[in-house]
Structure 1
């Protein structure tokens, strides 16, 4: 993040910030794999892969704790300001989003094992495949945006959450109708609905991750800004800040 952080007198400070960044991206990579594998395990009725997804949760939690300790130590020891402070606060919040994505992937794996145990192949797998691909791409692109400090890419990812929501709502309507027509399918389809709900939440967390990135780079809190207005909000802050700088000059 050399483009965002300043050159510090202490090389150790630079190393600490870079290590924090690397740990964040490593954790993100594990979570991305977790989500992809959770969906694939369900589609393939692969219990072994589902168990691997659950096992990865330990690594995610370990990194979550490690990054939290690093953020706390840097804040206490270095008392960072400006862009450095925003970076630490942003990563601290984004890590929580990643940890919750991992929890949802673990939940999908557990539901997969239940479906396998009961020998059920209910409706909704096509929707799971489609939405699973969408949220996996959101995670990948949000991490890529963090690596490159790409605000435009972050905004695009955030807007993708709307598409995920629409797909989820359409799938939910279809499955509820199916259960009404065939009450015998209710127990199995309910599990599929929970899987879809977890995927929808993962999309939300990916959107939030991008919002934290915007705060890191631009210093503006867009958590409560409509996704369609993100670009204008960021541009507006830039214009205001630039005008203020010109006035001071």
Structure 2
């Protein structure tokens, strides 16, 4: 099963005249799947926030540590990765299936460039499953309906939302999305989150001008949130050690901090 539109329909949705987050993020990670407009905006944002490339790398490394822990120590075998972005090294299915070849992964994104790459991404172990869904994070019911074709929601699922809730500008709506997703999964499931912040203790003041520029020149619009707002997405979950920290330092205490929160919560 793949829940992807035909390639020609995806191509019609690709815009090369405005920067898009998935492609700019790819640029910051050193990838090649981006356009001149993405590189131009990426460089301008970097001028406002010189450590933004480090944020991108730290977020990716956090994914690897979190998924490895969940597959190895927590025994999770199902992963729902929402807003996965463009394929790069150590994608969720590669990390999980390296530990447990029978892991089942569903990727979710609605960017046409990401989706065109999904067909190459849709490879994994014969014992497991790796699928892709064309859906928006603002539509959790649609995500759950499509993911249920691959994942068994009577068994624990790790829901990954790395750098995606920052594109849901209304905090109440973002909480509702998380609640809908976590209400659909059983005890023993996990929520894996990262999110940018303005908080000065992590150097987040650099995000203010950078995000103002981004919202004027790129898509989709973005927001940062405080520690308290980030923590509210994890209400009702048991936080895994070390709790809410810079994503760079989640189980990597010697790493340099970046202005991006990271946390993993377990549904009791």
**TM-score, normalised by the number of residues in structure 2:** 0.27
Structure with greater helix share of residues: 1
- When Rg is computed on C-alpha atoms for both structures, the one with the higher figure is 1
Structure with the greater relative contact order (CA < 8 A, sep ≥ 6): 1 or 2? 1
**TM-score, normalised by the number of residues in structure 1:** 0.28
Structure with greater strand share of residues: 2
